Amino acid sequence: MQNFIYHMPVKVYFEESGVKKYLPTEMKKYGQNVMIVYGGGSVKRNGILDELKNILEECGKRVFEFGGVASSPSYAKIKEGIALYKKEDIDLMIALGGGSVVDSTKIIAAGAETDEDIWDEQMVKHHIPEKMGKYAVVLTISGAGAEMDNLGACTNEETHEKKTFTGPYADFVIEDPSYLMSIPLRIFTPGVYDSLSHCMETYFGRGFNVWDEINESLMKNIIRNGRALMDNPDSMEIRSNLMWDSSLIQSFSFYTGNPGDFQAHGIENMLAAYTHATHGLQLAILQPVYYDHVVEDGQDVFARFAVNVMEVDPAGKTQIEVAKEGIEKLREFIRCLKLPETFSEAGIEVTEEIAAAVADTCNVSSTNVRQLSREEIREIILECR
């Protein structure tokens, strides 16, 4: 196990009707001006935004709305949020949504207390501001686990770059599983796969330690509940388990002492700068193809995954046969979730020019079972079409 320092400062309230119960007490700690950050408007249609605003106004807060955050957040939108934060002298932001909204809120917080352009500060000068804004999270869709960490990604559409920023941790998070009940399966299932992908990213790196065995149990729980969700989509118990699964993996305890394999994640990040597609959906297309390319070099870990997580029977099979069957079982799970297996099936256009640009600019992992060449990355993207 590698050396590490572990610190997880996020307080989580996990309870049905938890916003009504816990938010008034928390709001006593903050000033008058509160900014709600949200996405495309579903929180308006289902009444969650109005519920949150009413509670804040009963607490004597002035509420400012910042809506319209896209599923693949843009830096231009984030700059608008920073400007609003400064103009209205915001005391606390509340991210009302899922991963994209939470990521955007973190980056707004990172740039809220500096006069410098936060992209230039972090991406060019590699400087993290000491003072940042404050935010909390009211989670309305799970999967990304973004509520638990201090990292947020967005796309600079001028340069076709998707980069990850360092922001603050949330002061507190409220997870009300009843908020998930209105989410259609087609919106919810990419988040289920997103959670599983985070587990696999830590699992398929080099080395093996206690967290990998705990990780196996979490992956099995995600897969079991993901399958059950498709048969019983109105079960709050199933959705609540999946909600907490996604938070657990991003508590970063699974990453301690383990370098992980984030190659598919790096490819997806840069690809999203061109396609603007949902993160979990594109990972479901990319990861199995990427694993096909490296399975020969990581037979032991892929075979262990196949047996311990995907429940492949190893009797009478070679290690590589078991390993490859585990990847096919992963594809079966993706089909069970009714997620697309190719870009064309998803309605995503990926040209040879885009594939080449992504391959030339994405991060190349050195902690996976085998480092890829940029030409092989290009081939993987094209195979996914």
Class of domain 185-383: mainly alpha
Domain boundaries in the chain?
Answer: 11-180, 185-383
The pLDDT value given to residue 144? 87
Contacts of 183 (CB under 8 A, 6+ apart): 42, 140, 141
Q: What is the DSSP string of 8-47?
A: ---EEEE-TTHHHHHHHHHHTTS-SEEEEE--SSHHHHTS
Tens of pLDDT along the chain (385 residues) come to 677 777 788 999 999 999 999 999 999 999 999 999 999 888 999 999 999 999 999 999 999 999 999 988 999 999 999 999 999 999 999 999 999 999 999 999 999 999 999 999 999 999 999 999 999 999 999 988 999 999 999 999 888 889 999 999 999 999 999 999 989 999 999 999 999 999 999 999 877 778 899 999 999 999 999 999 999 999 999 999 999 999 998 887 777 777 889 999 999 999 999 999 999 999 999 999 999 999 999 999 999 999 999 999 999 999 999 999 999 999 999 999 999 999 999 999 999 999 999 999 999 999 999 999 999 999 999 999 9
* 27 token code pair: 């709001």
Distance CA 55, CA 67 (A): 18
Identify the architecture of domain 11-180 in CATH. Answer: 3-Layer(aba) Sandwich (3.40)
The pLDDT value given to residue 112? 97
Evaluate whether 264 touches 287 at the Cβ level (below 8 Å): yes
The pLDDT value given to residue 111? 97
Evaluate whether 206 touches 367 at the Cβ level (below 8 Å): yes
Same fold, 11-180 and 185-383: no
Evaluate whether 201 touches 143 at the Cβ level (below 8 Å): no
Tell me the chain's radius of gyration from C-alpha atoms.
21
Alpha helix positions (H), 158-298:
185-203, 210-231, 236-249, 263-275, 279-294
The pLDDT value given to residue 332? 98
The pLDDT value given to residue 1? 64
The pLDDT value given to residue 40? 83
Q: What is the Cβ-side half-sphere exposure of residue 363, based on CA atoms within 13 angstroms?
A: 15
Count other C-beta atoms under 10 Å from residue 342's C-beta. 13
